[in-house]
Amino acid sequence: MRTLSKPEKKTLAGVVGIVAATILYTTIPSHEGEVLHGYLDPVGVATKCYGDTKDVEVGREYSREECLRSLEAQLIAHAEPVLECPPILKGHPFQLAAAVSLAYNIGSKAYCGSTVARRFNNGQWQEACAAFEMWNKAGGKVLKGLVRRRADERALCERGLPWATGGE
């Protein structure tokens, strides 16, 4: 008699690879910070944990474990569309991690319609990396934190590219 096994739990490393997952687990918290309760961000969006805007109860306390589970779920939810709209990123962990970080912050739909995604799809790697810096506003205002984040994402995006390193 054949037994049915439980489906394996989807993991971020399984979706994007171990290198990109490791980068994302360190860079997202460093940019978003850790806030173990629901709050309103600078433009009034209900947020929790590591910048998570899904199912937030403003004022509710969240445990670190809840926040880490939520972070993984949200990174997977943003990584999957990123891998679909410019599939060229598969196998490019630094560029993929930068793109998922951007999508996590601006939303997957906005990312997939962005100049960044379009340039990746056209094979314009340098131009795609430069286009990260276009996304430095929230609520119509340039925010210093977003300027820093986009510079970090651009630098990550440029890692390992032949033109950025002088050749491979």
Query: C-alpha distances in angstroms, 145 versus 8, 24, 30, 137?
Result: 37, 17, 11, 10
Residues with catalytic roles: 32, 41
Q: What is the dihedral of CA 48, 112, 120, 115, to 10 degrees?
A: -90
Q: What is the sign, positive or negative, of the torsion defined by CA atoms of 140, 145, 17, 129?
A: positive
| Residue listed under structure tokens 């430095």 | 136
Query: C-alpha distances in angstroms, 129 versus 48, 51, 88, 105, 132?
Result: 28, 23, 14, 16, 6
DSSP character at residue 43: T
